[in-house]
Structure 1
Amino acid sequence: MGRGPSILRFDAFSKTVDDARIKTTSGGILTLVCILTTLLLLINEYADYSRIVVRPELVVDRDRQKKLEINLDISFQNIPCDLLTLDIMDQSGDLQLDLLSSGFSKIRLDRQQNEIGQEDMNVNHETKLVSEDPQYCGSCYGAVDQGNNDNLPQDQKICCNSCESVRQAYARVAWKFYDGKDIDQCEKEGYVQRVNDRLDEGCRVRGVAEIARIGGNLHFAPGNSMNHRDKHIHDLSLYDKHPEKFNFDHTINHFSFGLDDHSVADYKTTHPLDQTSHKNGKKYQVYSYFLKVVNTRYEFLNGKKVETNQFSATEHDRPFRGGRDDDHPNTIHAQGGLPGVFFHFEISPLKIINREQYNKTWSAFALGACAAIGGVLTVFSLLDRTIWAANRLLKDKKDI
């Protein structure tokens, strides 16, 4: 106990009796360990105090009347832009005609997925096109009754003055349009030649839609869409005409709801479908994504607030013909529907508020620091007393 006098001065455990004034080597060692332990605990306590955490709060969504944005960027490797149609419907079955916020663009892709051209995309919107000749009244080829045109003034006649207007007329009566061959308007506009020249191309669709905050679906399908006998159908005539061409292999480059702010880095909940791909080469395949959307607000320490949406996604695909699954014989798929890619979304009535906060308050940090110091001193004081008593006992036995 007498060796190492340089370490004796570190003994902080004063004795209440005469021997308490004795400084020991073990007491000095314990004091150094006590100081080191206290510093480590204080550093850990400060790190815990300064750590930023996100605390969620679940409330009723009061923004139900606001519009919801859908941001999408999807590439289809084996279907041309002229054949691809995008429809968005709500749960009531209504098509929303005024849903475009910044619009959609169709980007033509070659077989190597290189971009070779870009066009605007109309979504559920009939563009009125007229001939340059004010007296011209094009035939609708029986899709519309034009028998009374001779008795009407020019501005009241029912005319199909463009290939698009003929196509829309065919859609209203659920006639097969194919590629518009032998239709005078389509031949003159070069539509037939353009469609047939692009049969081996792909298409990338990119844009933003704005919809009401109710559930519904967004889907890509071939051919012009129409409502016939209370059913939403598509003209698959051109899609069926080429058995060896076309399929809905696709890559979801980006899909999100609401403000697309990249300061929110939780991509697992705000962008779970990004870079999702399906490439099986099957022509008549239905790809479905079932999305559960929750309105979300992020509140940062610097006062910034970001309104966005989190959503979960469940994927499912099945053959158009239905029947037993080749990989899972016990599973029997439903029959019918449309070949294409469908996004079915449900909007939650609740809202999540994620607030950035420090993990502890200043008072909690001070209380934790005091508890750490007091606890360490108490434990090491008891340990020193125990070692001192043991040494005294051993010494007394030797003296006997």
Structure 2
Amino acid sequence: MAKLSIARLSAYARPEAHLTKQTSHGAIVTLVGASLAIFLFLNELGYFWKLHRVTKMSVDLERRHDLNINMDMVFSAVPCAVLSMDILDVSGTMESDVNFARGMNMHKHRLDSKGKQIGKAEYLTPQSQQMIQDGMGGGMMNINIPQAMKHLTEMEDEEGHHEGCRLKGNMVVKRVAGRIHLSVHQHQIFMMMPQLMGSHHIPRVLNMSHHIHEVSFGPHYPGMVNPLDGFERIIVRGKQYEAFKYFIKVVPTEYYSRLGRVTETHQYSVTEYSSPIPADSPLVASVDIMYDISPIVVTVNDRPPSFLHFLVRMCAVIGGVFAVTRMTDRWVHWIVGKVVK
């Protein structure tokens, strides 16, 4: 009796075998329905495994670490001894590649007139400047004269061979608005020492043609786009020289991988501006990269939907196919019956 009571709860009544009848049109409907179910199942499975990128923006309320900048640029007409790099920010920090700067892990490689690297070793800029603190919040610049003269000799030699320079590496800067100044302005040091110049002369380089292999702020994640990567500006001989400026808005970004790992990095947008430099002008050619930090943080999430959500969709697909197939079979059976009669 207990077994009979439980059987009454079944929603799937089983007819006796002698009361069922299999037809050829029913088999065709069944095969079509099974094929449709398999197709939809594979489609849902592919949708579950493929990339599901969800991006959202919010106000950045966290106190984040320092900013890491990656750079890889080629200057085809500026020798490594002539090329100078400064980092300045609104907090008053000023670092250079000739003053023992901390956090500046930049490397220079000499290039010949055809753009091929000269040797395997990097070029080391003579350390001719060093800021000495006086213990009262101030400081004075100490000039190493032998290193300065060595630097001047290398400038003349590389400029005479029409060399170029590849600047590659990374630097850690404060998380405030700042500027990366690529120029030849360090020659002003020698302007202050005319009595030491002797027969030397300061090369005047105005052609700041450059090719940007990479400018990024932090690690890379799949699908990330850096607008300046692959960008170049070439000044043909005989044309007017220009100073280049890039205004960059850096946006903090948090990337969540499919496995839930978090990568903190930055995206950015850029605006370009250039100004002409007459050949007789006292202005110095330069490439300036001005960056500022956005107060908005972008969250990029590549995690797929939950497995439970996947099971719900599977049940809906399979159940819907069988329901439609059963209804189709009834209609086909009714139509066939009418035609036979």
TM (norm. structure 2) is 0.73
Q: 2:302 aligns with which of 339, 356, 359?
A: 356
Q: How does 1:25-174 map to 2 (within 5 A)?
A: 25-91=24-90, 95-96=94-95, 100-116=102-118, 118-121=122-125, 126-127=129-130, 162=145
Residue pairs, 1:1-400, within 5 angstroms: 21-91=20-90, 95-96=94-95, 100-116=102-118, 118-121=122-125, 126-127=129-130, 162=145, 186=149, 189=150, 192-199=152-159, 200-224=162-186, 238=202, 240=204, 246-258=206-218, 260=219, 264-268=221-225, 271-281=226-236, 282=239, 284-302=241-259, 304-320=261-277, 338-359=284-305, 361-396=306-341
Contact map agreement 1:110 1:202 (CA 8 A) in 2: yes
Give the C-alpha shift of residue 46 in structure 1: 2.7
Cα pair distance change 1:96/1:349, threshold 3 Å: farther
Structure with larger Rg: 1
Residues 129 and 143 in structure 2, CA contact (< 8 A), matched pair in contact too: no
Distance of 2:126 and 2:258 partners within structure 1? 42
Rounded Cα–Cα distance in structure 2 between residues aligned with 1:291 and 1:58:
19
- Shift in alpha-carbon separation, 1:102–1:161, aligned structure 2, 3 A: closer
CA distance in 2, matches of 1:265, 1:164: 45
Matched-pair identity in % = 27
| Distance of 1:128 and 1:362 partners within structure 2 | 60
More displaced stretch, 48-57 vs 379-388? 48-57
Q: Which deviations, in whole Å up to 9, do the C-alpha atoms of 1:289-342 show, x marking residues without a partner?
A: 222211222233445332221122333334235xxxxxxxxxxxxx99752212
Residue matched to 2:192: none
**How far apart are the structure 1 equivalents of 2:202 and 2:327?**
89
Q: How far apart are residue 247 of structure 1 and its match?
A: 0.7
Shift of the 383–255 alpha-carbon distance from structure 1 to 2, 3 Å rule, reads: same
Query: How far did residue 78 of structure 1 move?
Result: 0.6
Q: Quick check: 1:84–1:222 contact (8 Å CA) kept in 2?
A: yes
Per the TM alignment, residue 24 of structure 1 is displaced from its structure 2 partner at its CA by 2.2
Report the RMSD for the aligned CA atoms in angstroms. Answer: 3.7
User: How far apart in 1 are the matches of 2:64 and 2:187?
Assistant: 28
Closer, same or farther in 2 for the Cα pair 1:161/1:283, shift >3 Å? same
For residues 348 and 193 of structure 1, do their structure 2 counterparts lie closer, same or farther at Cα, with a shift above 3 Å needed?
A: closer
Give, in whole Å, the separation in 1 of the partners of 2:258 and 2:340. Answer: 62
Amino acid in the other structure paired with 1:273: L
- TM-aligned CA deviation for residue 126 of structure 1: 2.2
CA distance in 1 between partners of 2:309 and 2:261 (Å): 26
- Where structure 1 has 5 or more consecutive residues not aligned to the other structure, the ranges are 1-13, 130-157, 166-185, 228-236, 322-334
Q: Secondary structure at the match of 1:81?
A: coil
Q: Aligned pair count?
A: 297
Quote the offset at 1:344 in angstroms. Answer: 1.6
- Structure 2 counterpart of 1:208, one-letter code: N
Q: How many angstroms apart in 2 are the aligned matches of 1:378 and 1:65? A: 55
CA offsets per residue over residues 243-293 of structure 1, 9 Å max, x none?
xx65111111222112x35xx23241xx33223222122462122222221
Cα pair distance change 1:314/1:389, threshold 3 Å: same
Amino acid at match of 1:279: I
